[in-house]
Amino acid sequence: MARRCRFVINRKAFSQQVLKNETLRSRMRDAAETAVTDSRCMVRDHDGANRSGVAILCPSAVEAAHGTLEDTLGRMRV
């Protein structure tokens, strides 16, 4: 029978190396900009206290009519 294992993560190091990593954020931004084909949508950087990322913004009427965000997420390759 398999034994349980415990993972201990250094939160500060994980935050700096993964959650706030500029290389990962630039790759996500490039992938998002490539995936967005509708000119009514925009890509914005998000730099929070705990993590960084990229947000894709689209008007709700455009999303409801065309499914633009869903299509964009399907085209993203990081």
Start-to-end C-alpha separation, the chain: 38
Place of tokens 């869903």: 70
pLDDT tens figures, 45-59: 888 877 888 899 999
Q: What is the DSSP letter of 12?
A: H
Cα(45)–Cα(52) distance, integer angstroms: 8
pLDDT tens figures, 11-44: 888 888 888 888 988 999 999 999 998 889 999 9
- What pLDDT does residue 1 have? 65
Displacement of CA 1 from its chain's centroid (Å): 38
- What pLDDT does residue 30 have? 93
Q: Decide: 50 and 19 in contact? Cβ < 8 Å.
A: yes
